[in-house]
Chain A
Amino acid sequence: MNRRDFLIHSGGGLGSIALASLLGADRLLADAARRADGGLHHKPKAKRVVQLFMAGGASHVDLFDFKPELVKQHGKEADFGEKVEAFQNGLGPWLKPLWDFKPYGKCGKQLGEVVSPLGDVVDEIAFIHNMIGKTGVHSQGTLLQTTGFNRPGFPGMGCWASYGLGSANQNLPTFVVLPDHRGLASNGTKNWDSAFLPAQHQGAAIYPGTKTPIEDLFPDDRAKFITRDSDKAGIDLLTQLNREHATSRPGDERLDARIKSYELAAKMQLAAPEALDLSKETKETLKLYGLDHGKGTFDKEINPVEETDYFARKCLVARRLLERGVRFVQIWSGNDNGFPRRNWDSHEDVKRDHGPLAYGMARGAAALIADLKRLGLLEDTIILWTTEFGRMPSSQGGKGRDHNPYCFTNWLAGGGIKGGYTHGPSDAFGYKPADRKNPTEVYDVHATILHLLGIDHTKLTVRHNGIDRRLTDVHGHVIAELIK
C-alpha cells in the first residue's frame, strides 16, 4: 500500500495530515494524497472559490426572487396559512418588493432594479430560491452558512478547501478573508477560524490599503530599531544559528520546517503588498468595478457610491489574490448588526439599508464575474453569494422586514456552474420553499462546491474528539442540476 492509498483508505481520509502540519510534511503528504489533476477524489472542475457573504440577512424577495403575488396582495393582512414564529414582530401586512423587477440576459431572469448591474452577467449565474436555515438567530444562521454548524467550534468552509486542496502559492495565505472594515459580523473570526484544523488553514483576515494588511506582516511601528538591513541580516544570522542547532539534533524535521517558515515569511512580505496593490490596474478595470468615482470622502449617510467603493474594491483585490494562487476568498458585506445600520438586518427600513448595500454588492460582484471571465479564470473559479437567512414577505408594520430562516436565496456562478439557471422555487410569497419536503440546505451547497473542487464531501474528514468531522456534518447532496 503506497502512502496515498494509506491516507485515503485509513478511514480518516486526509484527516491524518492534521497532525503533520509542518510546511514540508504537509505538502508532501497532501500532495501524495492529491490526484495529478489537483482533485482529491475525482477530476475537479474548479480550483478556487469566492464567497460573498451578506451579513445581517439579505432580503431574497427584494433582490432576486420575484413574487408577483406580493405585488398583488401588497398592504393586505399577511395570511401564511399556518402559525408563524417571527424573530421580532414581523407579521405585518404583505410588503411588495421595494424595487421593480424586470427580466435580464438571455435567460430572462427577473432581478430587482437595485441589483441591475448583475443583469449583465446573469447568464453566468445559477439561483437557488429554496434555501432553508435552522433558526432566525444571526449568530447561528451565520455559523451555519460559514461552517456548516450552528454553534461555534468548527472550521470555516475556506479552511476545509485549503485543507483539502493545499496551497497553490506558499507566499500567500491559502484562505483569505476580506472583512467589512467597519466591523466583524456575528461570531467574529469564528466564521473563518480553523478550529481543529491546523492553523495554516485559518482564514487570514486582510485589510487592503492599511499599513499592515496582514497581522504582523511588518515590524510594529514602535520598534524603531528594526531597519530593512537589520531585518535581513537578522534573519540570515537566525538561519545560520538555527541550522547549527538542527544539525546537532538529527531526525527532528520540525527544526528544519521552522527555518523554512522564516524564509516563507520573508517571501510573504514581498508577495502580499504586491498582490494588494491596485495602482497598476488600468482605468478600464477601475471603471468596471465602479472605482473611478474620484471621491476621497463620503457622505455621513449610507450611500451607493461609498458602498460600491467598499465592496467592489474588495472584489478587485479578490481577483488579484485568485490570480496569484489563493484558493478561497471570503468577502463580507455588513458589520455587526448595530446602528446606524451598515448591514443587511433591515428591520426598520429595507430601502434605506439594502439600497446602497445591494447596489454596491451588485456592482462589485458583476465586475468580478466579468473580469474573471475576461481573464479566463471564471471557468475554474466558483462564486457563491450567500447570507444567514432571508427576510419575511410581510413587513414589521412599517418599512422593514423580519428574519426569514424558512426561505432564502443563494446564487453561484463560474467553476462548472450552469449559468442562467434557477433551481428550487420558493412558494408564491417567498415565505417557504414551494416543495417544503425538498428544500436546499447549506450542506447541499457545500457538497456541490466541494464536488466541483474534486472533493467528495463525505470523504474529507478529520477525527476530532472521537468524531469524524466534515464540512457537511452527516448531511448534504450534490445538486446535480446546478452543474454544467
Chain B
Amino acid sequence: MLFRCAVPVTLVFALLAVPAPMPAADPPKPVDFERDVKPIFAKHCISCHGAEKAKSGLRLDRRANVLKGGDFGKVIVPGKSADSRLIVVVAHDDPDVRMPPKKQRLTAAEIATLQTWIDEGAKGPDDAIKVNPADWWSFKPLKKPVVPVSREPKVSAIDAFVQAKLKEKGLTPSPEASRRTLIRRLYFDLIGLPPTPEEVEAFVADKNPKAYEALVDKLLASPRYGERWARHWLDLVHFGETHGYDKDQPRPNAWPYRDYVIRSLNEDKPYNRFITEQIAGDVVYPGTVGGIEALGFLAAGPWDFIGHAEVPESKIDGKVARHLDRDDFVANTIGTFMGLTVHCAQCHNHKFDPIAQEDYYRLQAVFSAIDRTDKTYDADPIIGAKRAELEQKKKITTRLITAIEGDARKRSNDELTRIEQQLAEAAKPANSPKPPEFGYHSQLGAKQDVEKWVQVDLGASIKLDHVVIKPCHDDFNNIGAGFGFPLRFKIELSDDVTFKTGVVLIADETRKDFPKPGTAAYTAKADNKSARYIRATATKLAPRQNDYMLAIAELEAFDADGKNIAKGKAATALDSIEAGPRWRKSNLTDGLAPGGPKLAAPELAKLTERRDAIVKAAIGEKGVAELAELRAEITKTDAELAKFAGSKRTAYVGTIHTGGGAFAGTGATGKPRSIHILPRGDVTKPGKEVAPGAISSIPGINGTFSLPPNHTEGDRRAALARWLTDANNPLTWRVMANRVWQYHFGRGIVDSPNDFGKMGQFPTHPELLDYLASELREHQSIKKLHKLIVTSTTYKQVSTSNEANAKIDEDNRFVWRQNRRKLEAEAVRDSILAVAGKLDLTAGGPSFRDFIVEKPEHSPHYQYHLHDPEDVKSHRRAIYRFVVRSKQQPFMAALDCADPSLAVEKRNETLTPQQALAMLNNKLAVTMAKHFAERVEKFGTTDAERMTTAVRLALGRDPTAKERDALAVYAKEHGLANACRVVLNLNEFVFVD
C-alpha cells in the first residue's frame, strides 16, 4: 500500500514544484533570462559558475551576476553577442578554450538562444522582484478561514473542511469505526500503550453517548500522554544522551530536559511559553526549574568532544568544531519551530527561500556566547530562594570583612599589604612554571560527604617506608595552591585490589577537617609494611562553587632506599574527568607535581604571627574581635549552604560554559564570540561581522533585534524567542499544527513537516491547516488541538480501504479514511512489556541503561548484548531509555527508532528480515514471551482458555474459534511460551486499525 500510497504523493508534488520546461518551438517572443537562458546555464555551467562554486568569480545563476561578469571582466555585452566573451567560449572549436571544459558542448540551438538573448539586450525579470517572500503560501499572514457550511448539523470545523475537499474530489467519507477499534486507536495514539481487556470491554459496553469524549479526556489527562508525545518531540530535536563523534562520552545529566518535555506536555503548557523556555527560559523565566531544564533543547544534538576538549578555539580545527556546534543550534531552532532549512544558507544565500547568508550568521550570533555544558541549579525553588538569601548574606559579610581589612591596611601604612604579599608569595610552589600535567581530578559531585578514591598498583607486593600525596595547583576560581585537596581523607595499603581484605591503615585524617595544605606534601609512614596497592580515599571532598571534587597531583611510595617506586605505575580511581593533559589518572604517577611552598612551615608561622600583630595594632582588640566574628559568620553560612548541596541538580543544557584548557567557553563574562559571515562556510576566511538577529525577510515579523549596545547574551536569545512566538509569525503556528495532525494521521497536511519553504510540499488542505494553526495561536493549547482532531468524524473513520475512493485517491491524501498505524519502536517495546505484565510505569529521573559499558575511561563501548533482559530497571517505558549515539539499541533500530544524530521529522517505516529477526529472537522479546506465558497460564485451565486471554491482552479482542484452536494446538505441542511468542509477532500486534 505504501508504494501506491506514499510515493506518488511525493512525486506529484515534486512535479508541481518544478516549473515545466517551455516547448522549444513557440512563436517568436523575446528571449527571457529566467525562462529560456537559465535552464541552459543550469545544464552546462552552474556546477562551476553557480552559487556553490563561482569559479573565477563568475556566477551564471542570476541575471545580475551574468551582467556583472567575473574576476577577468564582463562576459556579455548586451546587444552585441559577437563581442560577448560568453558566446566566444561556448562556441569555440578548440577544446582547450571551449566552455564547459571536458563536458558536452552546448547545442547550436542553445548557443543561438544565448545569442538572441544578448542581442535583445539581455533582458529578464529583476532579481530583486523575483525574491518576494510573500509569494509563497506559508509566508502569507495567518488568518482564521471561514468554515465551509455543511448540510450536516453536528459537523465539526475539521470535518467541514475535509468533507468539502472530499466532495470537490468526488470522494466519499468512510463510516465510523467500531468502539473496539476506536479505543485501541486512541490508546496508542494518545498514550502509546494498549488498553487492558477490561478497559476495552467497559468502553464497548458503555451506553453513554459521551463515552468517547470522556475517554479522550481521560487519556489526555493521563501522565502516560506526555510520555508518548514527548517522544515525537525528542525525535524532532534529535535528543541523545551521549556526545556522539569520537570517544562517545555519556551525558549523565541530559535527562532533565526529557522530563521537562514530558511535564510540559502533561501540563499543557502554553505553546509560546514552551518555545520561549527552550530558547531563553533562564532569561525570560528566571528562578524557575523549567527555565533551566528547557535549555536542554539547545544541547540536545551531537557535540564533538575532542574538537572542543582537545583543540582550542584559536586553532582552525577548534573553530570548525565550534562552527558545527552553532550550526546545530541554529538548524535545530529554526527547523523545529519554523520548519525552514535555514542551515542551507551557511555557504551562500538560500537557493530557494528568502534567507540571506547574513541571516544565517545573525542567528549564529544569537547563540555565540553559549556552549553545551552541565549547569547546576536548585531542583526545589524554595531551597533555591533560601540559598540565594544565604549567598546574599555571605556577600554582605564578605564586604564588611573587606572593608575592615582595607581599613587595617591603610592604618598600618601599607605594612600589612607588604606582609600579606610575602605570605602569598611564600605559599606558592617552589618550581615555576608548573607542569601542564596538573594531576588527577575526580568527577564533580553534588554532595561533600561522598567517598572518592585513587589507587596505585605497584605491580607486586613491596615493602614501603612512607607514602606521600602532593596537592595540586590550579588558578580555577583563584583557588591556587591546594586545589581539590580533600578536607578529610585516609591512606591505606592492601594486596587486595578491591581493598576488601588485608587493609592496613597508614594515615587517618577522617575525624576532623585537615587544614589547607597549600602545596605542602602530606607524608604517611608505612613502617615497612608490604603492599601491592596503595589507596588514598577522600571522605570529605573539597568544595568548589556549587559542587565537590577531589584532586591530587602526585602519589609517591618510597622504599627503604628512598626510591619512589610508584612512579610510572598504573593508577586507577573511582571516577575521573580524564581531560588530558591537565587532568588524568596517569598524572598521579608521572613524577610531576607543583613544588612545595617556598617557605618552610616555621617561617610561615612566624610571618603569620607578625601579620596578626600588625592587624591588632591597626584596628585594636575590638576590630580584631569584630573580624573574627564576621569570619565565624561566614563559616556558619557556609555550613548552612552545605546542607542544601544535595538539593542541587545538574542538567546538560545550552548555556555559558566556564572551563579550563582548550574548552574554555566564554567564561565569567559570558561575552558573545564575534560572528562573521564565512564565505562558503570557511572558518579561515571570516568576512563581515554580523549582529544578532533573525531571518530578515519573513513578512510581518521584524528579524532585526535592535538591541542596545550593552545588551547581554541572554537578551539575544530572549529576542529570538519573541520573534519565534510573535503572533504574526506566519510559520510557527502552521508548523506545529501540522505536526500534531501528522502524528494523529500518519501524514501531515503538509507532507514535508520540516520544510515549509519552496522545496517543501503544498498543503492538501490549506484552509484546514490555517484553521488549526489559528486555534493553536489563539489558545496556545496543544491538548485542545488534540481534542479537536480526535473527536472529529474524520479521525473516527475506519481504516479499511474502498475501491471507489482508492481509484481516485489511492494514497488517502484527502483523508477519506483513517490510516492504519504501524506502531513505532517504542510503542511495540512498551506493548510487549505491558502484555507480559512487566511494564514498570515509574516516571521521570535518570534514564535506565540497557547496555553495559566497557572501557569507560577512554572510548566507552556500549555493549547491549551484555545486558540482562530480566533487569527490572530496564522494564520502564522506552522514553526513559538512555539514548546512545555511537551505537543505537539494536532492537529499537531494527524497528526504525529515531537516529539521535539527525532531526527526525517523520520516521522511516520499513519491513525488513532483520526486523522480523528482532521481533522473533531478540532477548527482550523472547524473555517477555516467557513472562507473557507465565501470566496467561493462571487465566484458565485449558490452553484454549489461556490463548484466549493472550489474544485479549495483546489485541484487545477475543480470538476467532479458528485462531483460538490453532494457537491451542500449537501451545499443546510446543508450550505456552512459544505460543505467546507467536502472538507477539502477529501483524495485528504491530498494526493498529
The chain A residues found within 8 Å of chain B, CB to CB, are: 6-7, 10-12, 15-26, 28-29, 85, 87, 134-140, 142-143, 150-154, 170, 173, 183-184, 186-190, 193, 195-200, 202, 204, 214-220, 222-223, 225-227, 229-231, 233-235, 237-238, 240-242, 244-246, 249-255, 257-262, 264-265, 267-269, 335-339, 458, 463, 465-468, 474, 480
Q: Hey, which chain A residues are within 8 Å of B859, CB to CB?
A: 183, 335-338
The 3 residue pairs across chains A and B that have the minimum distance between CB atoms = A188-B886, A466-B755, A25-B3
Whether the Cβ atoms of B886 and A187 lie closer than 8 Å is yes
The chain B residues found within 8 Å of chain A, CB to CB, are: 1-4, 6-7, 10-11, 14-15, 17-18, 47, 52, 102, 238, 244-248, 302, 304, 306-307, 311, 315-317, 320-321, 324, 328, 335, 340-341, 344, 752, 754-755, 757, 759-760, 799-801, 806, 820, 822, 855, 858-859, 861-862, 869, 885-888, 890-891, 893-894, 896, 899, 901-903, 905, 908-918, 920-923, 926-927, 929-930, 962-963, 966-967, 970, 973-975, 977-978, 981-982, 985-988, 990-991, 993
Kindly provide the distance from the CB of A204 to the nearest chain B CB, expressed in whole angstroms: 7
Whether the Cβ atoms of A223 and B930 lie closer than 8 Å is yes
Kindly provide the distance from the CB of B543 to the nearest chain A CB, expressed in whole angstroms: 33
Whether the Cβ atoms of B991 and A254 lie closer than 8 Å is yes
Quick one: closest A residue to B302, CB to CB? Answer: A152
Q: Hey, which chain A residues are within 8 Å of B238, CB to CB?
A: 153
Q: Hey, which chain B residues are within 8 Å of A134, CB to CB?
A: 320
In the complex with contacts A190-B244, A190-B885, A199-B893, A19-B926 CB distance below 8 A:
no
Give CA–CA (A196, B754) in the complex, Å.
13
Q: Hey, which chain B residues are within 8 Å of A151, CB to CB?
A: 302, 304, 324, 328
Whether the Cβ atoms of B245 and A220 lie closer than 8 Å is no
Whether the Cβ atoms of A21 and B2 lie closer than 8 Å is yes
Whether the Cβ atoms of A204 and B914 lie closer than 8 Å is yes
Whether the Cβ atoms of A261 and B973 lie closer than 8 Å is no
Give CA–CA (A476, B148) in the complex, Å.
52
Give CA–CA (A22, B3) in the complex, Å.
7
In the complex with contacts A10-B15, A87-B311, A139-B304, A216-B921 CB distance below 8 A:
yes
Whether the Cβ atoms of B341 and A245 lie closer than 8 Å is no
Kindly provide the distance from the CB of A439 to the nearest chain B CB, expressed in whole angstroms: 15
Give CA–CA (A135, B319) in the complex, Å.
10
Whether the Cβ atoms of B987 and A246 lie closer than 8 Å is yes
Give CA–CA (A23, B317) in the complex, Å.
43
Give CA–CA (A244, B757) in the complex, Å.
44
Whether the Cβ atoms of B858 and A251 lie closer than 8 Å is no
In the complex with contacts A139-B306, A245-B986, A186-B245 CB distance below 8 A:
yes
Whether the Cβ atoms of A222 and B927 lie closer than 8 Å is yes
Whether the Cβ atoms of A465 and B341 lie closer than 8 Å is yes
Beyond known contacts A11-B14, A143-B245, A222-B923: 20 more, CB 8 A cutoff: A10-B10, A28-B3, A85-B315, A134-B320, A140-B245, A151-B324, A193-B888, A197-B908, A215-B918, A216-B921, A220-B922, A226-B978, A230-B978, A244-B962, A249-B799, A253-B2, A261-B913, A265-B914, A336-B246, A458-B47
Give CA–CA (A227, B820) in the complex, Å.
34
Give CA–CA (A480, B10) in the complex, Å.
35
In the complex with contacts A19-B2, A252-B801, A152-B902 CB distance below 8 A:
yes
Kindly provide the distance from the CB of A6 to the nearest chain B CB, expressed in whole angstroms: 6
Q: Hey, which chain B residues are within 8 Å of A24, CB to CB?
A: 3
Whether the Cβ atoms of A253 and B324 lie closer than 8 Å is no
Whether the Cβ atoms of A223 and B927 lie closer than 8 Å is yes
Whether the Cβ atoms of A226 and B316 lie closer than 8 Å is no
In the complex with contacts A25-B2, A249-B993, A466-B759 CB distance below 8 A:
yes
Pick from A139, A186, A251: contact of B806, CB under 8 Å: A251
Whether the Cβ atoms of A20 and B7 lie closer than 8 Å is yes
Give CA–CA (A83, B804) in the complex, Å.
73
Give CA–CA (A139, B249) in the complex, Å.
13
Whether the Cβ atoms of A234 and B978 lie closer than 8 Å is yes
Kindly provide the distance from the CB of B54 to the nearest chain A CB, expressed in whole angstroms: 12
Pick from A19, A242, A249, A262: contact of B800, CB under 8 Å: A249
Pick from A16, A183, A234: contact of B970, CB under 8 Å: A234
Whether the Cβ atoms of B982 and A241 lie closer than 8 Å is yes
Q: Hey, which chain A residues are within 8 Å of B2, CB to CB?
A: 19-22, 25, 253-254
Q: Hey, which chain B residues are within 8 Å of A154, CB to CB?
A: 902
In the complex with contacts A10-B14, A467-B759, A253-B4 CB distance below 8 A:
yes
Whether the Cβ atoms of A220 and B923 lie closer than 8 Å is yes
Kindly provide the distance from the CB of B872 to the nearest chain A CB, expressed in whole angstroms: 15
Q: Hey, which chain A residues are within 8 Å of B801, CB to CB?
A: 250-252
Whether the Cβ atoms of B966 and A152 lie closer than 8 Å is no
Kindly provide the distance from the CB of A193 to the nearest chain B CB, expressed in whole angstroms: 6
In the complex with contacts A188-B887, A465-B754, A467-B341, A21-B987 CB distance below 8 A:
no
Give CA–CA (A335, B247) in the complex, Å.
11
Q: Hey, which chain B residues are within 8 Å of A217, CB to CB?
A: 917, 921
Whether the Cβ atoms of B914 and A200 lie closer than 8 Å is yes
Q: Hey, which chain A residues are within 8 Å of B910, CB to CB?
A: 21-22, 198-200
Q: Hey, which chain B residues are within 8 Å of A23, CB to CB?
A: 911-912
Q: Hey, which chain A residues are within 8 Å of B966, CB to CB?
A: 237, 240-241
Q: Please, could you name 8 A-B residue pairs with CB atoms under 8 Å apart, sorted by A?
A: A16-B10, A22-B2, A154-B902, A189-B888, A190-B886, A220-B922, A254-B991, A258-B916
Q: Hey, which chain B residues are within 8 Å of A198, CB to CB?
A: 908, 910
Kindly provide the distance from the CB of A441 to the nearest chain B CB, expressed in whole angstroms: 13
Whether the Cβ atoms of B311 and A137 lie closer than 8 Å is yes
Whether the Cβ atoms of A215 and B890 lie closer than 8 Å is yes
Give CA–CA (A79, B850) in the complex, Å.
52
Whether the Cβ atoms of A463 and B977 lie closer than 8 Å is no
Whether the Cβ atoms of B759 and A199 lie closer than 8 Å is no
Q: Hey, which chain B residues are within 8 Å of A336, CB to CB?
A: 246-247, 855, 858-859, 861
Kindly provide the distance from the CB of A260 to the nearest chain B CB, expressed in whole angstroms: 8
Q: Hey, which chain A residues are within 8 Å of B985, CB to CB?
A: 238, 262
Kindly provide the distance from the CB of B784 to the nearest chain A CB, expressed in whole angstroms: 28
Whether the Cβ atoms of A138 and B306 lie closer than 8 Å is yes
Give CA–CA (A18, B909) in the complex, Å.
9
Q: Hey, which chain B residues are within 8 Å of A140, CB to CB?
A: 245, 304, 307, 320-321
Pick from A85, A199, A261, A458: contact of B317, CB under 8 Å: A85
In the complex with contacts A23-B911, A230-B978, A218-B902 CB distance below 8 A:
no
Kindly provide the distance from the CB of A5 to the nearest chain B CB, expressed in whole angstroms: 11
In the complex with contacts A18-B908, A242-B986, A188-B929 CB distance below 8 A:
no
Kindly provide the distance from the CB of A1 to the nearest chain B CB, expressed in whole angstroms: 10
Whether the Cβ atoms of B916 and A265 lie closer than 8 Å is yes
Whether the Cβ atoms of B987 and A11 lie closer than 8 Å is no
Of listed B315, B344, B909, B987, residue having the most chain A CB within 10 A: B987
Whether the Cβ atoms of A249 and B914 lie closer than 8 Å is no
Whether the Cβ atoms of A257 and B911 lie closer than 8 Å is yes
Whether the Cβ atoms of A19 and B10 lie closer than 8 Å is yes
Pick from B7, B861, B887, B974: contact of A19, CB under 8 Å: B7
Whether the Cβ atoms of B974 and A233 lie closer than 8 Å is yes
Kindly provide the distance from the CB of B772 to the nearest chain A CB, expressed in whole angstroms: 21
Whether the Cβ atoms of A219 and B307 lie closer than 8 Å is no
Quick one: closest B residue to A88, CB to CB? Answer: B310
Whether the Cβ atoms of B1 and A254 lie closer than 8 Å is yes
Whether the Cβ atoms of A187 and B316 lie closer than 8 Å is no
Quick one: closest A residue to B242, CB to CB? Answer: A188
Kindly provide the distance from the CB of B311 to the nearest chain A CB, expressed in whole angstroms: 7
Quick one: closest B residue to A215, CB to CB? Answer: B890
Give CA–CA (A189, B341) in the complex, Å.
26
Whether the Cβ atoms of B908 and A233 lie closer than 8 Å is no
Give CA–CA (A50, B899) in the complex, Å.
26
Q: Hey, which chain A residues are within 8 Å of B862, CB to CB?
A: 188
Give CA–CA (A10, B16) in the complex, Å.
10
Quick one: closest A residue to B970, CB to CB? Answer: A237
Give CA–CA (A143, B920) in the complex, Å.
33
Q: Hey, which chain B residues are within 8 Å of A463, CB to CB?
A: 10, 14, 752, 759
In the complex with contacts A137-B317, A139-B304, A466-B755, A265-B886 CB distance below 8 A:
no
Whether the Cβ atoms of A135 and B244 lie closer than 8 Å is no
Give CA–CA (A264, B328) in the complex, Å.
40
